[in-house]
Amino acid sequence: MESIMTELLYQTDSYLKEFQAVIVAVDDENHGVVLDKTAFYPGGGGQPVDKGTLTAGENSFTLKRVKRIDGQLVHLLDGEGEIPQIGETITGMIDWQRRYQLMRTHTAMHILCGVIFRDYGALVTGGNMDPLKGRMDFEFETMQKELVAEIEAAVNAEVKNARPLQVNILPRADAFRIPDLIRTKINLLPEGITEVRVVEIDGLDLQADGGTHVKNTGEVGKIKVVDYKSKGKINKRIYLELEDA
Ligand SMILES: [Zn+2]
C-alpha cells in the first residue's frame, strides 16, 4: 500500500461520536481498511484504543482495533464479512460510553499531574489508564501515605473549580518556547514531528498530548486517590479511580 495520511478528527473534536469517511485503501491480509479521516482514537500516551463499529451499506463490522501498520492507520474489522471496497463511504460509530469515560479519566490524570507539580514540584514520568481508573508515575521522593487525602482533596477542588481545557496545534518551534512544556519531556518528541498538539487545563496543567479530553474539569466527576506504591526511593506510582457518573 502507498502511504496515506488519515485526518485525525478526534484531535480537534473529541466529542465526535459518529462520522462518515471514504475508504482510501484496503488491507486484505489484515482484514482492514484505511480511511481518509477517522474519529477512532488509535491508542497512545497511556490512553487505550477506541472500540466501535463501521458500517458500509448493509454490512456492519465491529472494530477490532485501529493499528498503525507500515505508517498507516488501519481499521481492523472483526468477522468474516467481505471487506468494503476503495471509494465506498462508511459510517463509524464510537463506543461512546467507554470513550467518554476515558476522556474523563485522561483529564483526571492531567489534573493530578498539575496539582502534584504545583503543590510538591514533582514531575510525571508516565501513566496508563482504563475507563474510570488510571495510574501515574512521578519523581516524588517525599510522597507518603499522609499525603493521599491531601492530594485527593486538591484534585477534587480543581474539578469543582470547573477549569476549561484548550487544545492547540502549534508549530514545533512555538511549542518549544513554552516553558511549562519542557517539564513534560517535550524534548523526547521525534525529530520529524513539525506540529505539537498541546492540551492545557487553564491555570493548572499544560502538556504535549495526542489524547482525548473533556472540555472542562467539572465533567470529570469525583476522583478517588485509591493507592500509591513506591517504585524505588524517588519513583512513586499513584492510583486513581473515578466515580461512575
Ligand atoms: Zn495525557
* Residues 78/64, Cβ–Cβ less than 8 Å: yes
Q: What is the pLDDT of residue 30?
A: 93
Query: Coil, strand, or helix at residue 227?
Result: strand
Kindly indicate the confidence band of residue 181, based on its pLDDT and cuts at 50, 70 and 90.
Answer: confident
Strand partners, 205: 201
| Residues bordering ligand 1, an ion, CB closer than 5 Å | 209, 211
Handedness of CA 215, 103, 109, 211 (dihedral sign): negative
Cα(35) to centroid(ligand 1), Å:
25
Q: What is the pLDDT of residue 7?
A: 96
Cα(45) to centroid(ligand 1), Å:
6
Residue pLDDT, tens place only, 104-159? 999 999 999 999 999 999 999 889 999 999 999 999 999 999 999 999 999 999 99
CB atoms within 10 A of CB 67: 16
Cα(103) to centroid(ligand 1), Å:
10
Q: What is the pLDDT of residue 187?
A: 57
- The answer, yes or no, to whether residue 68 has pLDDT greater than 60, is yes
- Average pLDDT in the 73-79 region? 94
Cα(92) to centroid(ligand 1), Å:
24
Share of the chain above pLDDT 70, in %: 96
pTM over 0.85: yes
Angle between helices 147-160 and 96-120 (to 10 degrees): 120
The answer for residues whose C-beta is within 8 angstroms of residue 187's C-beta and 6 or more apart is: none
- Alpha-carbon gap, residue 189 to 206, rounded angstroms: 16
- The answer, yes or no, to whether residue 81 has pLDDT greater than 90, is no
Cα(226) to centroid(ligand 1), Å:
20
Please provide the distance, in angstroms rounded to a whole number, between the alpha carbons at the two ends of the chain: 44
Q: What is the pLDDT of residue 71?
A: 87
Cα(44) to centroid(ligand 1), Å:
9
Query: Coil, strand, or helix at residue 140?
Result: coil
Of 77, 59, 81, residue with least CA distance to 67: 77
Kindly indicate the confidence band of residue 177, based on its pLDDT and cuts at 50, 70 and 90.
Answer: confident
Cα(95) to centroid(ligand 1), Å:
20
